[in-house]
Amino acid sequence: MGDGGSLVLLRHGQSVSNAADVFTGWSDPPLSALGVTQARQAARTLREIGVRPTSVHTSLLRRSIATAEIIADALGRGWLPVQRSWRLNERHYGALTGRDKRAVAAESGAETFRDWRRSYAIAPPAMADTDAAALYADARYADLPPDARPRTESLADVRVRTLPYWADVLRPLVLAGGTPLVVGHGNSLRAFVMHLEGIGAADVERLDIPTAVPMRYRLDRRGRPVTGPEGRYLDPVSAREQVRVGPP
């Protein structure tokens, strides 16, 4: 029997850029071999608990798309309706995109590096004109208005672009008894969790989202989550193994 009336959030499996420890953002690497394994494990977790998604929602990036496809197929639900949106994309890391994190940390210093990675309101330096032009020449962004094409983003910026998707698409589905599965990214999901759990700007800097560990939120009739933070993860052991304590 389905597990209707809940929101399932999942960060994609490890990408090859995650494995290489570089800033990924809106660049589009595939899943690593480990990432494929993680996606299959996420499907097993959902199946064992009895969660049956009624729709699938991904970003426009293939690590999100591939993870969602692996899970839907493993659950025998490859026929589910799918929506893809740029609003679910990872945070845009601007000029840091594709750069080795250790090299950036050595150049910028520990405090600036931490602010660029974890702060709520501070964005990295903007992407260069030529790099931005190449990124937005991609057909998937052809209909994206110029003012919706970031050159860099803070988590605050990500929250502004993701919350309309929650309000206009996901919340109505859950309140109607559906179980949308959102396969997003570390920062797009941090924005959702921040909103759902009422986490403040200072505390969200300590929030880390592990790869491919499903999270579930049930809502009351007013659309407020009834699952506390301690019940966020459907596989808490895997979540604890991945999540670091305190700011990285």
Residues annotated catalytic, as ranges? 12, 90
Spatial contact of 47 and 74, defined as CB atoms under 8 Å apart: yes
Kindly give the pairing relationship between strand 55-58 and strand 82-84: parallel
Sheet containing 6-11: order of strands: 82-84, 55-58, 180-184, 6-11, 215-218
Residues written for the chain? 248
CB atoms inside a 10 Å sphere around CB 224: 11
Spatial contact of 219 and 46, defined as CB atoms under 8 Å apart: no
Report the alpha-carbon distance of residue 49 to residue 226 in Å, rounded. 18
Helix axes 155-165, 186-197, angle to 10 degrees: 70
Backbone angles phi, psi at 179, to 5 degrees: -130, 80
Q: Is 160 helix (H, G, I), strand (E, B) or coil?
A: helix
Q: Is 89 helix (H, G, I), strand (E, B) or coil?
A: coil
Q: Is 180 helix (H, G, I), strand (E, B) or coil?
A: strand
Spatial contact of 7 and 77, defined as CB atoms under 8 Å apart: no
